[in-house]
Structure 1
Amino acid sequence: MSELWWAVLLVCAGCYALKLAGLSVPASILEHRHTVRVTALIPVGLLAALVAVQTAAGDREVVHDARLAGVAVAVACLLARVPFLPMLVLAAAATALVRLI
């Protein structure tokens, strides 16, 4: 077998072990109020990290381009409680206008 297949098998075994470890956690820990609060906030942090990386990541450096304008417009729309679809259109239009300029 090639080294790649050994790596794939190792990752599969690691994922299975991680899943098994998660299933073996006692219910008293999972239902603790701190655990519930933290697990409710994890998706928010992951989504924010994804947006930050997709907005400002270049090949090897941080870039400042039209994507930042679109994110800024989207944040402003969120603060103004604009519905999702108009917010998406406004953010895309802002990005397109900055790229046009």
Structure 2
Amino acid sequence: MTPWPAVAAVAALSFALKAAGPLALGERELPPRARAVIALMAPALLAGLVTAEIAGDRWRTVDPALLAALTAVPLLRRCRLPMPAVLIGATLLAATVRRLTT
């Protein structure tokens, strides 16, 4: 059995859910607070998926260097550094932590 029927079903359901919002709202605008919450949902989901992937099964395979680098990225962005500087800083931190823990 191929996975394509399942992929097509998930795609159709995704399109239907995305169309349900505008159909229900019509011409009305969402309140600013609702828009802010919706805007933060994708980054929160991505952070959860990245954390689950890094932590491994029951947090057995946590890589301290990678965890330190991923923690540094939002902190460096909060300091309003440009993205190349953030990536270089996170990479240097990961290399330093890896060097100290091995």
TM-score interval, smaller chain? 0.5 to 0.7
Matched, 1:45 2:44: yes
- The CA deviation at 1:4 is 3.0
**Aligned twin of 1:18:** 17
The alignment covers a number of residue pairs equal to: 97
Distance 1:51 1:12, change over 3 A: closer
TM-score normalised to the size of structure 1?
0.64
- The CA deviation at 1:92 is 0.3
Aligned equivalents of 1:49, 1:76: Cα separation in 2:
17
**Aligned twin of 1:100:** 99
Aligned equivalents of 1:37, 1:5: Cα separation in 2:
35
Q: Which amino acid aligns with 1:57?
A: A
**Aligned twin of 1:57:** 55
Aligned equivalents of 2:83, 2:70: Cα separation in 1:
13
SS at match of 1:15: helix
- Unpaired runs of 5+ residues, structure 2, are none
Deviations, residues 28-56 of structure 1 (Å, cap 9, x unaligned)? 3x4334322322332442343345335x4
TM-score normalised to the size of structure 2?
0.63
Larger radius of gyration: 1
Q: Which amino acid aligns with 2:58?
A: E
Aligned equivalents of 1:8, 1:75: Cα separation in 2:
33
Identical residues among aligned pairs (%): 32
- The CA deviation at 1:90 is 1.5
